[in-house]
A = this chain, B = another copy of it.
Amino acid sequence: MQDRQHIVSAFDEELHRIESLILEMGGLVETQIEDAAEALVRRDVELGDSVRDRDRHVDTLNARIDEEVVRLLALRQPLAEDLRFAVSALKIAAALERIGDYAKNIGKRNTIIARSEVLQPASRSIRRMSALARDMVHDVLDAYLRRDLPLAEEVRRRDQEVDHMHNALFRELLTYMIEDPRNITPCMHMLFVAKNVERIGDHATAIAEQVAYMLTGEMPGADRPKADATSFTAPGREDEKQG
């Protein structure tokens, strides 16, 4: 009994180490999203570059989480919810790593976008959209930590707001491009930035689904509300319905 106690608590310790690595990774990724958007608004090339450089810390954390999970699987051979926790940790870390890549890519594109005057309003829209996406990441990791299923589901629903902002921004940017050919290059990069933020929302949603799986053993179905319609967008066209 004494022994079993001992094993259990050692196991919990390892689970918590993985958990706190995921939260550390999440905090870093939130900052990356924020700084990438801030760099656009301030047209701050240096800040954009530092986001690019810091991405490798995100990747390192992802690799460490993978190692810890494989170690946990090998040494503890967890079952039931503990096994689901371990598998979810791999998937959540992978999603955070992808989110980090999107922030990094925004940092890269900033070097071109910063040269353009016309994108100031769009940059502020991106910052609002990024704030939504960042809050999704923050809250879904909160749901993960607190094992809070309703919060995870609420985050999933929130992805629609990001998609709607993306649709609107997409049409706005197409209009700038059509107005003046000099806007084409920066707007095109801004379209990719907007797409990156939209994808960050999708990955936060994927994490929410992992949290649901971890807590229930069931993966939420394809019932997820999807409102991104830009794959069908022509300027001025009404397409939210086609999301």
Contact = CB atoms under 8 A, between A and B. Distances in A.
Interface string A67-84: 001100110010110011
Query: What copy number does this chain have within its complex?
Result: 2
A108 B63 CA distance: 34
Contacts of A195: 192
Nearest to A52: B231
A112 B111 CA distance: 30
Nearest to A193: B231
Contact of A90 (B59, B87, B112): B87
- Chain A: interface secondary structure? helix
Contacts of A234: 112, 185
A59 B90 CA distance: 18
Contact of A184 (B59, B73, B184): B184
Contacts of A120: none
Interface of A: 56, 59, 63, 66, 69-70, 73-74, 77, 79-80, 83-84, 87, 90-91, 94, 105, 108-109, 111-112, 174, 177-178, 181, 184-185, 188-189, 191-192, 195, 219, 222, 231-235
20 contacts: A56-B222, A59-B222, A70-B83, A70-B87, A73-B73, A73-B83, A74-B79, A74-B83, A77-B77, A87-B90, A91-B94, A109-B231, A111-B232, A174-B185, A178-B181, A181-B181, A184-B184, A185-B235, A189-B231, A192-B231
